[in-house]
């Protein structure tokens, strides 16, 4: 199905199933422990061999010698694979560094070997006996030190532009009567998902099957085949349940490759999971940023000049953290400049983490907006709305399909009690707590991706849906079932959903908050094709066929869908240039109240509210869960999350859940989420967008702005920790 014009009335608009609060259909399986994750496919083989990764103990240099004799002689060892014994390996299109290093070492904890043994304990013990001698080389591990030498990135990510210029920013900024010039920093962040990267690999002749934890099946199958040098058709990937990804499982990682190599060498299935430290140093992370923001405004509070420059770092061949991109679209100003600059760093690979670009970018931009509002003597919401725009600021002839940022702020302000906020910092006390409120805009683009599905009428009248779409804890099973039930007129329990298998049609996959809208649009297309086949076989004109109650009705008769058992339809959604003709984005407003202990500087989040405009909400329960999870991650980024870099040896020191702090239940108060009632016909036949990443964009700044309102201390370097607050706290009487 080609989608290149806005959707008109269609079966989704019935709203009998889609849009209703629906508990996750996979919930009972997960709570009962019956949903198998990657490391838990015990039924496939009674006793797989176990792989354990040997990783580099330096960040840059080469392996001068590797002595495997003691390891090979250790009890239970079956085989050891290194780059010398693995044969010629390619590199996936989406991998920056090689997943199996040697003799060259590209980053700390890069995999150098995999030891395969009968048990985990034997593999781990033997791996400790591998004796490696290194020749170290000087590395670059400090973004601030490399910043002066960082050139423009080769691209600006999805936008394709690393530098943009509109008008004459320099001249407009110089003559602006009110100016802001401030620099903000965000640290490296880890995904810290609950389920580790894990894989079970088995060969059957030339055919390889991997049961793994992955967000994007087709991308990863292609890169695994490319790396191994085998046809893509010889690789099957199965990932029906994923215990969190946040972007860290978008691409092929070392666990998949090493399990496959180990299984080939051992001649039997091999199971492998990355220990927690390797999830931080061996896989990917969100890169640190340095961001300089300059605003020029007239005395009435209208921005005339906006500049946002971002610096980040990655391994050679990597890409930037596109922290400036939302600034190109969010606020109006005639004169504009943005730039993404990329330093070469020898740290582990930087890559996508929930809302790449906007999440760290808005942590800076939305503090800057508050600082500028204060300079102008304006309420922070009033200042933002004064600079709202209904068209792309860089291309004024290009409108937004929908832009309800003002509605989000106005409804949120009313619900949160914003009018009662004291604009003067450090004025509100609750016992020993200084209390403040902060606000920030939320913004994330809506991306359109091709997606396919297959639907089949089963003998008992149920409909089976098959697509390689994944469920990473986001509720894909449920909203896909809701879509099929709506289009085919079935009760939800009459739909069977099968996901995460490369044997199924290729979907959009899970990432970028594009999954729900696009995957369901692909299922919609397949179901509409099936409707046509059923109507034809039933002798009913397609336009006159009514699908309801598990039946197709028309021509004065009703026929149960079971009568059409065996009918199969496969189709997908394919987009024209509809997203080029108008800008598709999602919007929101975050409100936060904090308390800061006047004596110790301890910060406690007291209240949170998110108001979201994100197209049709397919399942309010799942959408709310996505947003409150994102809000929680935003609190973590604001107050505690920071990968500490050892700038001498080039690795992340706090590479486990003891040292890398994330929020726990006690850190998070009640979170209120409101979805505006809207449907965007330009997004897809579903008229939905995405919401899972919108929920994190702006939260960090709302927390920071609330802390400033509580204390009068402006912190521009995340995370906002005690030592940054204490020197500036008001005197305690």
Which residues, in sequence order, are CB contacts of 347 under 8 Å at separation 6+? 59, 107, 108, 141, 188, 313, 315, 645, 650, 651, 652
User: pLDDT at position 158, please?
Assistant: 66
- C-alpha dihedral sign at 39, 43, 47, 48: negative
Q: State how far the Cα of 271 lies from the Cα of 201, in Å rounded to an integer.
A: 6
**In angstroms, how far is the first alpha carbon of the chain from the final one?**
70
Rounded Cα distance between 485 and 680, Å, is 21
d(CA 110, CA 346): 11
pLDDT tens digits for range 641-678: 999 999 999 999 999 999 999 999 999 999 999 999 99
The two tokens of residue 448 are 């359109």
Q: Is 171 helix (H, G, I), strand (E, B) or coil?
A: helix
Percent of the chain at pLDDT above 70? 100
Strand partners, 501: 238
The confidence score (pLDDT) of residue 681 equals 98
Cα 611 to Cα 628: distance, rounded to the nearest angstrom = 11
Q: Output phi, psi for 43, to 5 deg.
A: -75, -15
Provide the pLDDT confidence category of residue 733 given band limits of 50, 70 and 90. low
Q: Is the peptide bond before 719 cis (omega within 30 degrees of 0)?
A: yes
CA angle 565, 492, 8 (to 5 degrees): 90
pLDDT digit string, tens, across residues 398-431: 999 999 999 999 999 999 999 999 999 999 999 9
What is the rounded distance in angstroms from the CA atom of residue 466 to the CA atom of residue 477?
11
Burial of 532 (0-12, 13-18, 19+ CB in 10 A): middle
The CA distance from 321 to 282, in Å, is 19
Q: How far apart are CA 456 and CA 564, in angstroms?
A: 10
Cβ contacts of residue 160 below 8 Å, gap of 6+?
none
Classify 665 as helix, strand or coil. helix
Residue keyed to tokens 């409108």: 399
Report CA-CA distances (Å) from 723 to 112, 600, 601, 602, 659: 40, 10, 8, 10, 18
Model confidence at 156: pLDDT above 80? no
Query: Would the pLDDT of 593 be above 80?
Result: yes
Residue with tokens 């009568």: 563
Pull the structure tokens for residue 442: 């939320």
Rounded Cα distance, 725 and 713, in Å: 7
What span, in angstroms and rounded, lies between the C-alpha atoms of 26 and 389? 41
Give the active site residues: 693
pLDDT of residue 53: 98
- Using CA atoms, how far apart are residues 371 and 8, in angstroms rounded to an integer? 44
The helix (H) or strand (E) run that includes residue 280 is: helix 276-281
Give me the helices (H) in 541-596, please: 578-581
Token readout for 404 is 């309800």
Q: Where are the alpha helices (DSSP H) in 489-640?
A: 515-538, 578-581, 620-639
Domain 398-445+584-728 bears CATH identifier 3.30.365.10 = yes
- Both tokens of 621, joined, read 């329960």
**Would you say the pTM of this structure is higher than 0.85?**
yes
Q: Cβ of 506: how many Cβ atoms within 10 Å?
A: 19
pLDDT at 483: 98
Kindly report the number of other CB atoms within 10 A of residue 226's CB atom: 19
Mean pLDDT of the chain: 97
Gap between the Cα atoms of 514 and 584, Å rounded: 12
Residues of the chain above pLDDT 90, percent? 97
Q: Where are the domains of the chain?
A: 2-35+448-578, 398-445+584-728
Spatial neighbors of 554 by CB under 8 A, at least 6 apart, are: 535, 538, 540, 541, 544, 545, 546
Beta bridge partners of 53: 114
User: Residue 587 to residues 319, 592, 690: CA-CA distances in angstroms?
Assistant: 26, 17, 10
What is the arrangement of strands in the sheet containing 198-204, beginning at the earlier edge strand?
77-82, 111-117, 49-55, 270-273, 198-204, 207-212, 235-238
- Report the b/e string of 619-632 with b at 16+ CB within 10 A: beebbbbbbbbbbb
CA atoms within 13 A on the CB side of 111: 33
Task: Assess contact for 83 and 335: CB atoms under 8 A.
Answer: no
Encoded tokens for 236 = 């099957």
Separation of alpha carbons 571 and 529, rounded Å: 7
Got the DSSP string for 112-131?
A: EEEEEESSHHHHHHHHTT-E
- Cβ atoms 117, 48 nearer than 8 A: no
How far apart CA 612 and CA 588 sit, in angstroms, is 4
Residue 661's pLDDT is what? 96
Res 45 pLDDT > 80? no
Same fold yes or no, 2-35+448-578 and 398-445+584-728: yes
Q: Which of 221, 215, 213 has the alpha carbon at shortest distance from 197?
A: 213
Picking from 10, 87, 99, 22, the residue whose alpha carbon sits closest to that of residue 624 is 22
- On whether the CB atoms of residues 578 and 682 are closer than 8 A, the answer is yes
pLDDT tens digits, one per residue of 49-77: 999 999 999 999 999 999 999 999 999 99
Report the C-alpha gap between 727 and 724 in whole angstroms.
7
CATH architecture classification, 2-35+448-578:
2-Layer Sandwich (3.30)
**Torsions phi, psi of 599, nearest 5?**
-95, -40
pLDDT digits (tens, 9 = 90+) for 525-541: 999 999 999 999 999 99
């Amino acid at each position: 199905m080609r989608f290149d014009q806005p959707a008109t009335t269609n079966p989704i608009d019935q709203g009998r199933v889609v849009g209703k609060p629906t508990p996750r259909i996979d919930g009972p399986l997960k709570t009962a422990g019956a949903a198998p994750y990657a490391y838990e496919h015990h039924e496939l083989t009674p006793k797989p061999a176990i792989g354990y990764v040997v990783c580099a103990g330096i960040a840059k240099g080469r392996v001068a010698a590797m002595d495997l004799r003691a390891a090979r002689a250790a009890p239970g060892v079956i085989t050891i694979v290194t780059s010398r014994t693995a044969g010629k390996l390619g590199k996936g299109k989406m991998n920056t560094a090689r997943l199996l290093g040697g003799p060259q070492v590209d980053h700390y904890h890069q995999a150098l070997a995999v030891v395969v043994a009968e048990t985990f304990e034997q593999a781990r013990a033997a791996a400790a006996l591998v004796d490696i001698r290194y020749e170290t080389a000087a590395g670059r591990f400090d973004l601030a030190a490399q910043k002066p030498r960082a050139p423009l990135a080769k691209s600006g990510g999805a936008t394709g532009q690393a530098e943009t210029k509109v008008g004459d920013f320099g001249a407009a900024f110089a003559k602006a009567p009110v100016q802001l010039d401030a620099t903000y920093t965000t640290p490296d962040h880890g995904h810290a998902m609950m389920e580790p990267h894990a894989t079970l690999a088995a060969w059957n002749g030339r055919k390889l099957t991997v049961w793994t934890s992955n967000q994007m099946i087709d991308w990863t199958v292609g890169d695994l085949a490319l790396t191994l040098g085998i046809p893509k058709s010889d690789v099957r990937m199965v990932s029906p349940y994923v215990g969190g990804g946040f972007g860290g499982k978008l691409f092929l990682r070392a666990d998949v490759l090493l399990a496959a190599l180990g299984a080939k060498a051992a001649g039997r299935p091999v199971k492998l999971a990355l220990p927690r430290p390797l999830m931080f140093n061996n896989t990917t992370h969100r890169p640190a940023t340095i961001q300089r923001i300059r605003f020029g405004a007239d005395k009435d509070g209208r921005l005339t000049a906006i500049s946002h420059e971002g610096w980040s770092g990655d391994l050679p061949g990597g890409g930037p953290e596109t922290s400036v991109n939302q600034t190109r679209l969010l606020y109006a100003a005639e004169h504009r400049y943005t730039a993404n600059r990329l330093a070469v760093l020898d740290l582990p690979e930087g890559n996508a983490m929930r809302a790449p670009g906007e999440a760290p970018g808005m942590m800076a931009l939305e503090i800057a907006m508050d600082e500028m509002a204060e300079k102008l003597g304006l309420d922070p919401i009033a200042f933002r709305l004064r600079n709202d725009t209904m068209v792309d600021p860089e291309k004024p002839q290009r409108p937004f399909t929908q832009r309800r940022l003002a509605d989000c702020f106005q409804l949120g302000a009313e619900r949160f009690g914003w009018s009662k906020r004291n604009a003067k910092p450090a004025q509100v006390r609750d016992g020993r707590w200084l209390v403040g409120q902060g606000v920030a805009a939320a913004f994330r683009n809506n991306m359109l991706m091709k997606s396919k599905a297959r639907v089949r009428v089963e003998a008992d009248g149920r409909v089976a849906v098959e697509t390689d779409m994944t469920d990473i804890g986001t509720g894909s099973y449920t909203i896909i079932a809701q879509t099929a039930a709506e289009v085919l007129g079935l009760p939800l329990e009459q739909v069977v959903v099968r996901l995460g298998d490369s044997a199924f049609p290729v979907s959009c996959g899970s990432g970028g908050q594009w999954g729900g809208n696009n995957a369901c649009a692909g299922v919609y297309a397949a179901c509409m094709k099936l409707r046509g086949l059923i109507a034809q076989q039933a002798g009913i004109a397609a336009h006159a066929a009514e699908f309801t109650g598990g039946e197709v009705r028309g021509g004065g008769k009703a026929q149960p869908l079971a009568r059409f058992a065996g009918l199969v339809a496969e189709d997908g959604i394919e987009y024209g240039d509809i997203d080029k003709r108008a800008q598709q984005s999602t919007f929101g407003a975050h409100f936060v109240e904090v308390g800061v202990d006047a004596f110790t500087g301890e910060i406690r989040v007291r209240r949170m509210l998110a108001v979201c405009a994100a197209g049709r909400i397919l399942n309010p329960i799942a959408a709310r869960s996505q947003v409150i999870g994102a809000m929680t991650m935003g609190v973590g980024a604001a107050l505690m999350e920071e990968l500490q870099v050892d700038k001498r040896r080039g690795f992340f020191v706090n590479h486990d859940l003891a040292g890398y702090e994330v929020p726990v239940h006690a850190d998070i108060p009640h979170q209120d989420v409101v979805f505006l009632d809207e449907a965007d016909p330009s997004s897809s036949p579903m008229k939905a967008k995405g919401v899972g990443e919108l929920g994190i964009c702006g939260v960090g700044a709302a927390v920071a702005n609330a802390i400033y309102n509580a204390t009068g201390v402006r912190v521009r370097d995340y995370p906002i920790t005690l030592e940054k607050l204490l020197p500036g706290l008001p005197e305690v009487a």
